[in-house]
Structure 1
Amino acid sequence: MKAVILAAGRGRRMGRLTDTLPKPLISVLGKPIIHHIIESLPPSIDHIIVVIGYQGNKIKRYLKEKFPLVSFSFVRQDRLVGPAYALLQVKDFFTKPQERFILIYGDELPSKTEIKKCLSHNYSCLCHFISKPIPTGVVKVNKDGMIIKLVEHRKPTSKPVMAAGGVMVLNSDIFNYRKVLHQKSGEYYLTPMLNRFNKAYPMYIVLGQDDLYFTTPADIERFSK
């Protein structure tokens, strides 16, 4: 089974922390975020495709040095215009119909247990309850813990929400859905593609740690306490 890690972004809200490092290489609890991601993956993941962009060669060198026995492929994202655009860069790696894979954002910090729970379902999404008003994708679920709809909230809400985290179990049919440009941000978010995918392949939610997100240096400090 393949894993796809989206690690192309800079993370501008991290300020000076990303002047010399891409966001996935920022250290949390003594290791870069992307190091934690690789360590969280089970042995059933036999190939990891990493989408790189901003200072991508640093990510490539780090992973090849720290994980010499892991099978990696690296794909360079030429335009940093959102996660949907990034995901579509790896389409050619999937030649089997409905080939299942796990997608992880390069600034997510899943535990081994959370990854295991996500993979225990055919299709799933790791979610977090977020109490702070931040722009995020909000998940609406039914009583059985299955996703009804995802809604992109670019304007922060003052109410706690269940947010879609950066871990999803999908299949290669996701590449058949058209990416949609978010007019105000100028980026291609995954939300429209995921809503179409969810209609064909219902996704379960897996609840992760509350308020787990890294958008500013204060978030790194808060989590490291």
Structure 2
Amino acid sequence: MKAVVVAAGEGTRMRPLTDSRPKPMLPIGGVPMVERVLDACAPYVDGYVLVVGYEAEVIREHVGIEHAGHPVEYVEQDEQLGTAHAVGKAGESVNEPFVAMNGDVVVDEALVASLAAAARDGESAIATMDVPDPRNYGVVDVADGYLTGIVEKPADPPSTLANLGLYAFDPGVFEFVEATELSERGEYEITETIERMLAAGHAFRVVEHDGHWLDVGRPWELLDAQEILLEDVEREIRGEVEDGATLEGSVVVESGATVRTGSVVEGPVVIQEGATVGPNAYVRGATVVGEDGKVGTSVEVKNSILMRGATVPHLSYVGDSVLGRDVNLGAGTIVANLRHDDANVRMGVKGDRVDTGRRKLGVVVADGVKTGIDTSLNAGVKLGVDATTKPGESVTRDRGENL
């Protein structure tokens, strides 16, 4: 059995973090999302087909031709024309039952196991989850454990079971993909493919899931996902911890990482290879300090993602934020993460200011950003690739391109 993993999209709602990488390569808990999906599939498959497109070489270079002992084949989706179109691209590489996964979701192994079991039984399957308000999802109609219909974002949902966009198929699906027509949204949608299969008498087992699942589409959802994933992290100290440093709870210090004297690290925290913390730093919450990153003297970092090479060297505070690769925050840079009126923080997404649902949210800073000393960054601000600030500047609006 193979896993077809769709990892072709840019993720425009994730800008500016996706200006230099496809969305599935964004890290959660220090590991790219697509790699986590491959890991979840590994016990149940004997090979992968990765559907790539935007910045495809980034995925190819990271994943390579083998993962978890299974071969990896790549197919190109030059135009991102919907999930059915992406799945169809795998048709020449798959002649057996398979699971179809998105490469930019957080999903636990148990759900993959259930889908794979259906495929082994010769059945197609659709993954679902009970949600309080299903009107913003594709909603399934079920009878005796099998799918009878599916409708997108209905005003009057037929059930509370949301479609998670994860499936088991047999190779017969490709015939129905070929028959799928372009939708009003300009995509070949897999839900139409499934409706055609149902009309032709094809049965779909409904797999109800009650574990971890999160569709990570907007920058702050990286933090939501990391909080979930780091719940299960176990303490492991392989790097150097100097005398006078204090580690509390579930803390991972990878080989080649250093925690210097006077620092306090309260888990769940992952400090990756080559990273340094301290001296006299404070790191807490669900935080990852990425490879070769630095949290320096008298710096506090809370509940944040610092990607590879991100540096916060002196006298700064970073809370509930995402820092891209090779960011450098000048001494005294302070991130605000709470509004005075205690309302949810809003953030720009494709030109609109969106309620993030988060009372505490700092900033999203793309690769290569540099701030001047004593910069203040307001809650919900985004800085684009290679953006800069002046010393002493107070930044209250987004800055840069492709935000």
TM-score band, normalised by shorter chain: 0.7 to 0.9
Matches within 5 A, 1:93-104: 93-95=93-95, 99-104=96-101
1:187-224 superposed Cα distances (whole Å, 9 cap, x missing partner): 11100111222431332223244772211112222222
Normalising to structure 1: TM-score of the pair? 0.86
1:108–1:166 contact (8 Å) kept in structure 2: no
SS at match of 2:78: coil
1:133–1:157 contact (8 Å) kept in structure 2: no
Normalising to structure 2: TM-score of the pair? 0.50
1:186 aligns with 2:186: yes
Amino acid at match of 2:61: R
Amino acid at match of 1:108: V
Report the more deviating stretch, 130-139 or 71-80.
Answer: 130-139
1:53–1:76 contact (8 Å) kept in structure 2: yes
Q: Find the counterpart in structure 1 of residue 170 from structure 2.
A: 171
Deviation at 1:113, TM superposition (A): 1.3
**Structure 1 residues 53 and 134, CA, compared in 2 at 3 Å: closer, same or farther?**
farther
Could you tell me the percent identity over the aligned residues?
25
1:136 aligns with 2:137: yes
Matches within 5 A, 1:46-65: 46-64=46-64
Query: Hey, what's the Cα distance between the residues in 2 that align with 1:79 and 1:162?
Result: 31
Larger relative contact order (Cα-Cα within 8 Å, sequence gap ≥ 6): 1
Q: Find the counterpart in structure 1 of residue 27 from structure 2.
A: 27
1:115-140 superposed Cα distances (whole Å, 9 cap, x missing partner): 11222223222223345788532222
SS at match of 2:81: coil
Query: Hey, what's the Cα distance between the residues in 2 that align with 1:133 and 1:28?
Result: 26
Q: Find the counterpart in structure 2 of residue 112 from structure 1.
A: 109
**Structure 1 residues 156 and 80, CA, compared in 2 at 3 Å: closer, same or farther?**
farther
Deviation at 1:12, TM superposition (A): 0.8
Report the more deviating stretch, 205-214 or 128-137.
Answer: 128-137
2:105–2:213 contact (8 Å) kept in structure 1: no
2:65–2:72 contact (8 Å) kept in structure 1: no
Q: Find the counterpart in structure 1 of residue 207 from structure 2.
A: 205
1:31-60 superposed Cα distances (whole Å, 9 cap, x missing partner): 111111111114441110000000011011
Deviation at 1:93, TM superposition (A): 1.6
Deviation at 1:66, TM superposition (A): 7.9
Deviation at 1:161, TM superposition (A): 4.3
Give the count of matched residue pairs. 219
Amino acid at match of 2:29: L
**Structure 1 residues 104 and 70, CA, compared in 2 at 3 Å: closer, same or farther?**
same
Amino acid at match of 1:116: A
Matches within 5 A, 1:57-96: 57-64=57-64, 67=67, 69-95=69-95
Report the more deviating stretch, 162-171 or 3-12.
Answer: 162-171
Q: What's the Cα RMSD here?
A: 2.6
Unaligned runs of 5+ in 2: 228-403
Amino acid at match of 1:88: G
Deviation at 1:152, TM superposition (A): 2.3
1:138–1:151 contact (8 Å) kept in structure 2: yes
Unaligned runs of 5+ in 1: none
Larger fraction in helix: 1
Q: Find the counterpart in structure 2 of residue 219 from structure 1.
A: 221
Amino acid at match of 2:55: Q
SS at match of 1:109: strand
Amino acid at match of 2:71: S
SS at match of 1:166: strand
Larger fraction in strand: 2
Query: Hey, what's the Cα distance between the residues in 2 that align with 1:145 and 1:216?
Result: 33
2:108–2:213 contact (8 Å) kept in structure 1: no
Amino acid at match of 2:163: A
**Structure 1 residues 47 and 124, CA, compared in 2 at 3 Å: closer, same or farther?**
same
Report the more deviating stretch, 144-153 or 30-39.
Answer: 144-153
Q: Find the counterpart in structure 1 of residue 161 from structure 2.
A: 162
SS at match of 2:50: strand
Report the more deviating stretch, 111-120 or 55-64.
Answer: 111-120
2:134–2:162 contact (8 Å) kept in structure 1: no
Query: Hey, what's the Cα distance between the residues in 2 that align with 1:157 and 1:223?
Result: 29
Amino acid at match of 1:202: F
